[in-house]
Amino acid sequence: MPTPPSHERLVAQLLADARPVRPLWSPHTRLAVWLVLQALTLGFAVEFGLRQDLGAHLRQPLFLLEVGALIAAGATAAAVALRAAVPGPAADGQ
Amino acid sequence: MTLSVLLVAAAVALVSLEPATAIRSVRGFVASGAQCLACILAFSALPWIALFLALRRGAPLDAPLAGAYAGAAAFLFAAAAVRIACPIDEGLHLLTWHTLPIAMGAAFSAIAGARWLGRWQRALDRREVP
């Protein structure tokens, strides 16, 4: 089936406007960089937080579960967001 | 998505297990909460901007949803940081001032996503075929 002339004109116009682009880092790499930034944030909170009894709290399973669930959910949401910005099944490579 | 929702639900459930103490003064409740809210906003600002810019370099097909994920991610980490730093363990304080901002941040980010992450689609739509 021949390509409609309007499609060919659109492709020609897109090619005429095309500029070199820098390839995106893979979602995994961008997630790793973002998680490093977040680790620094958490480290800042541990170092400069107002809680005097943090050592005792870090031995409580409920407290660890709360913080762990928040961090795990945040990391999952970031991974899904970065993956959603690169459509297509072979997104991991680009 | 489902995993994220489950983990947030688990965090909320765990937070609600903290002791519920009667509010002694509304002013104190709001004053201490405002500090936590400000800290969550401060902790989430830079990571949110970084994640949002990273998404903007891509091409999200569902811009509001991608924005909501980005907001949820930044605010969840900020809530974790403030949970570590904040000395108040009362359930009502945690639900109101630590958990609610996550939902509000995700909603705000979804609006921002609809506004700024879908520009590539709108630009493509505007392109007229000669």
B7: in domain: no
CA separation for the pair A65, B10 (Å, rounded): 9
Across residues A57-73, what is the average pLDDT? 90
Q: To the nearest whole angstrom, how far is the Cα of A7 from the nearest Cα of chain B?
A: 8
Chain B contact present for A83, CB below 8 A:
no
Q: Is residue B73 part of a domain?
A: yes
Q: Write out pLDDT tens, residues B103-116.
A: 999 999 999 999 99
pLDDT at residue B12 is higher than 80: no
3-state secondary structure B11-80: HHHHHHCCCCCCCCCHHHHHHHHHHHHHHHHHHHHHHHHHHHHHHHHCCCCCHHHHHHHHHHHHHHHHHH
Residue B13 has pLDDT above 90, yes or no: no
How many domains does one find in chain B? Answer: 1
Burial class from Cβ neighbours inside 10 Å (0-12, 13-18, 19+) for residue B97 reads: buried
Asked whether residue A82 carries a pLDDT value surpassing 90, the answer given is yes
pLDDT digits (tens, 9 = 90+) for B26-83: 888 898 899 999 999 999 999 999 999 999 998 898 999 999 999 999 999 999 999 9
- The pLDDT score that the predictor gives to residue A78 is 96
> Nearest to residue A91, comparing CAs of B66, B68, B6?
B66
B116 in A contact zone (CB under 8 Å): no
Window B:21-50, CB contacts with A under 8 Å = 43, 46-47, 50
Q: Which two three-digit tokens encode residue A53?
A: 């009894």
Q: How far apart are CA A65 and CA A69, in angstroms?
A: 6
Per the domain annotation, does B15 fall within a domain?
A: no
Q: Which residue has the higher pLDDT, B16 or B122?
A: B122
How far does B2 lie from chain A, in Å, by closest CA? Answer: 10
Who wins on pLDDT, A92 or A66? A66
Residue A94 reports pLDDT greater than 50: no
| CB proximity under 8 Å: A 12-51 to B | 13-14, 24, 30, 34, 37-38, 41-42, 44-46, 48-51
Is residue B34 situated within a structural domain? yes
Residue B83 placed within a domain: yes
Residue B65 near residue B1, CB atoms below 8 Å: no
Asked whether residue B116 is assigned to any structural domain, the reply reads yes
Distance CA A77, CA A93 (A): 20
Whether B81 maps to a domain, the answer reads: yes
Looking at beta carbons, which residues of chain A come within 8 Å of B77? 38, 41-42, 70-71, 74
Domain that holds residue B69: 26-126
**For residue B14, is pLDDT > 70?**
no
- Nearest by CB to B83, from A66, A76, A87: name it: A66
Please list, residue by residue across A77-93, b when 16 or more beta carbons sit within 10 angstroms of its beta carbon and e when fewer do.
bbbbbbbbbbeeeebee
Q: To the nearest whole angstrom, how far is the Cα of A1 from the nearest Cα of chain B?
A: 20
Query: Is B60 inside a domain boundary?
Result: yes
Model pLDDT for residues A19-46, shown as the tens digit of each residue: 888 888 888 999 999 999 999 989 988 8
Q: B43 to chain A nearest CA, in Å?
A: 7
Q: Tell whether B92 is within 8 A of chain A (Cβ).
A: no
Q: Which of A14, A52, A67 sits opposite B83 (nearest CB)?
A: A67
pTM attached to this predicted model:
0.82
pLDDT of residue B106: 94
